[in-house]
Structure 1
Amino acid sequence: MAQEYQDSQRTYSDAARTLAAYPSISPRTEVYTYENGSSALLLTLSGTLPVTFRGTIYRFPVKLWVPRSYPQEAPIAYVTPGRDMLVRPGQHVGVDGRVYHPYLRDWQRTWDRASIPQMLEYLQQVFAKEPPVISKAQQQQYHQRPIGQTPQPQTTPSASVPPQLPPKQRPGSFEPAEVPSISTPPPKPPKPAHPQQYPPNPQYQPQQQNQNLPTKKQPPPDLLSDPFDVALPNTTTSAPPAPAPPIPPNPEREHLLHALSTILVQQAHAKVSQNLSAIAPLQAQQSALRDAHQRLESEIRQIEHLASTLARNEAILRASLTTCDQLMQSAKTKAQPNVDEVLVAPTMVAQQLWGACAEEAGCSEAMYVLQRAVDRGRVEGVDFVKQMRGLGREAFGKMVVGKKCGRGLGLEVGGRVGG
């Protein structure tokens, strides 16, 4: 498995640091299928990520897929809810549970400094403001609640005892009822409908004394960390409904939209300038391609003309070969003519010259055969000498006659022209 990763040493180091920093995370190997349909066996780091949400530590299930080109390519992070939990989509978590964060988006530009432990620290900060999961029961309770209805405070037989405060809540402060974003933390009690009906209590006296004072301006709600549902005032009570406070603008959202629009405008201008600068080279390339196309068409026409000429020549050659084959077949069937009848000298001197040359060649051939016979022992030495002397004398005479005839015909004899 280590040989398949591009930088196995860096991958092992970051995985070991992650396991040391988060003992609840364990490694394993699983097959991951990309969006284009291809699959690969990758290293996964799955487990729970401890996050401090409103003073309580919760463990959110996460799963990291480490690609083979790590660290040049960012890891793939998912939120994997349990059996009784659902994914809570938000600004950094999709409906399918995939985690989107600027740290992952800018990973390729800072891959030499980015690492998995640092990414988990950013996810802890994000999940502390916006939990990524919610319980199924809480989700069903939110969908089944009628619109405009808020949970009523529970009344006890003793009207003199104030409602029990939630954990880690300071005396004298009340908050409206809200649905928790996850199933683990206990729900906070709703705000009483008539807080002035409770009898005086020492711990609530500061609140009753300050009722006539001007109310302190409440901070704007945090849209990132607050749950989806908002408690509305109860219209069934006799008290006049309080006007709903205006929703303050989210400065982070406005800043994000402004930065996003600025980046998009800059990218659009850069793309337009890039396209305009690329027009001139493309036009030159287009004209060059047109010229090349015309040249190729002319060459194609020349090649077609040459091909037609070669085809005609090939047809003529094939016809000539057929005629030659027919002549050769007909010549084989005919009887061979006599050489003396075919070769007829134009003059008597030429006829004498042909005869002398032929007889001289015959004497030379007879002398060669006689020499072979002597070598093999078929002719005696005395007969060989006698026959060789006669053949030599005859060959010499024929040679003299041939030279005389050659001089008479004006032929070259012995390097000189006769006559």
Structure 2
Amino acid sequence: MDPEIAEWLQRALLTIGYQHRERMYADVEAVLQLFQNFLVPKAETYTHDNGRSQLLLSLIGTVPIVYQSATYNIPVAFWLPTSYPSVAPIVFVTPTALMLVKPGKYVDVSGRCYHPYLAYWNNRSDSNLVGLISVMQGVFSQEPPVYAKSNVSSQQQQQQQSSPTMGSYPSPTTSLRPAPPILNYSPRSGANTSTTQPSGANPQLNRSSSSSAAAFGPSAHPLTPQQAQLHTKLQTTLLEYKRASSREMDTLVTVNKQLNDAENSTKAEIESLRDLHTKIQYNITTLTRCIEQLNAKIEQIQAWPEEPVDEIICGSSVVHNQLFELVAEEIAIEDTIYLLGKALSQDKVELNAYMKHLRNLSREQFMKKALIKKVKVQLGHVE
């Protein structure tokens, strides 16, 4: 690929904000290498069915087909969504001013192309631009999607045949930089495309080396009334078949989208359940480890020897036991004095009774403290 085009393509992918730029660049590069004289990249504004406009990368030009042993070019445009390759490209047939779209099994009146390859794009791991163009070539070779306008004058036909361009394509409303010019298609060597016409085709199908696009039209011979009636019936039948096929295709596309959405939702739910299972397993492991530690601690405590309660609470000698009892009694007296004072403040006891009991308790407390001091001196605890 030309270095200038490669640099422009890298900058375009980065500016537009494609999610998978490496895959996009690889697929576009493969297309440009195979169809370097037919398709060129452009950055243009695409308007979706809901009216939303978006800057997208497109491949605009022609794709060569072989129809009744002659090679022709079909003008097309491939629009690449920003989430490509997760989303299929958008394909349109873009007829020139001297052409009209020929609705068929895979092309509607607006030129939008439909095909199972596009409908089941996400279900195929090998879906890519080169494969899509190859499929479109096979479809267009069986049923050409354009034909010549019947009211075009011979002068306009001559101007079209002598025109060196590939047809008028709308210039991009927004572009990152001017895209490389569209190159003219030259027939393959050895293909007699300038003198051979497909049977029943318009003389405009006769292409010279500078012709730009293929046009398919009705036969130049006049039809008999029976042939015209048959032709009308065939057109009506084909139109009804096309409408039925379009409805079926729309239904299949809708069902396919619903299935894909359900599959994605199921995958997300499965992934969420896996994460929850992992967390639960971690919590179970942690809880099991803690239970094992608690059981080990319980076994360790149960293995400890039993200590006599009297030896733990009582002192080691008679004197120590006496000191223990004296301190307990002295603290009890102090608590009793506190409660008597609280009862006096709340008028629950008379002053005379309070003073009487306070004297008795204070005298007893003094005796306890003196005895405690004496015991401590005996034990060697001198203050």
TM bracket, shorter-chain basis:
0.3 to 0.5
- TM-score w.r.t. length of structure 2: 0.42
Report 1 or 2 for greater relative contact order, CA contacts < 8 Å, sequence distance ≥ 6: 2
Q: Max radius of gyration: which structure?
A: 1
TM-score normalised by structure 1 residue count:
0.38
